[in-house]
């Protein structure tokens, strides 16, 4: 978790560090990322990096979470299996936001390399009568986004495939 020392930095310095993190993790998988490149680009001392973050993984998780928060802002309300048009539109909006916010390379790097490196955790079990449907819709949503970002040339086909599945009912 990011240390309080980082949150107390002036906004301009925080932005410089975040830009350096984004550049590093957008071009290098977490397992080959280097603190040296980050501190050099950010113009900070190596010791300062460790006052802001525990390690590279901590810094990665910070910038990745910041990216997801930014990308998700302004997206449509959570669609459901009965609202397929909004569901498909939200995927298109998410992909467009990864481009508009400059986070596409980071998210693609995450799916391609870092997701497996960090290890996976199981999804939470839902409760209620529609829990299974919500789980299936969420799983399909994330897999479709992942597939489109990893192979953009298949976006139309993947969205059509998703639309067909949702129209039939999950």
Tell me what pLDDT residue 79 has. 62
Sorted by where each starts, the structural domains of the chain and their CATH numbers stand as 4-69 (1.10.357.10), 74-168 (no CATH)
Record the pTM: 0.89
Q: Is 78 left (phi over 0), alpha (psi -120 to 50) or beta?
A: beta
Question: Which residues are CB-neighbours of 150 under 8 A, at least 6 positions away?
Answer: 108, 111, 112
Instruction: Give DSSP secondary structure letters for 77-104.
Output: PPP-TT-HHHHHHHHHHHHHHHHHTT-H
Q: What is the pLDDT of residues 90-142, one digit of tens each?
A: 899 999 999 999 999 999 999 999 999 998 889 889 899 988 888 888 899 89
- 3-state secondary structure at position 119: coil
The CA angle 101-70-6, to the nearest 5 degrees, is 105
Q: How confident is the model at residue 169 (pLDDT cuts 50, 70, 90)?
A: low
pLDDT at position 76 over 80: no
The mean per-residue pLDDT over the stretch 152-162 comes to 95
Which DSSP state fits 130?
Answer: T
């Amino acid at each position: 978790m990011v240390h309080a020392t980082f949150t107390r930095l002036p906004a301009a310095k925080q932005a410089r560090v975040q830009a350096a993190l984004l550049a590093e993790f957008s071009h290098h998988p977490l397992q080959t990322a280097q603190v040296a490149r980050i501190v050099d680009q950010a113009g900070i001392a190596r010791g300062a990096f460790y006052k802001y973050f525990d390690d590279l993984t901590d810094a990665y998780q910070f910038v990745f979470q910041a990216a997801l928060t930014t990308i998700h802002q302004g997206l449509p309300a959570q669609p459901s299996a009965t609202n397929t048009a909004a569901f498909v539109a939200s995927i298109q909006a998410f992909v467009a936001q990864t481009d508009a916010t400059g986070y596409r390379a980071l998210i693609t790097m995450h799916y391609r390399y870092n997701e497996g490196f960090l290890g996976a955790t199981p999804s939470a079990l839902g409760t209620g009568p529609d829990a299974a449907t919500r789980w299936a819709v969420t799983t399909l949503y994330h897999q479709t986004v992942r597939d489109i970002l990893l192979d953009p040339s298949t976006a139309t086909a993947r969205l059509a495939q998703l639309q067909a599945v949702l129209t039939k009912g999950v």
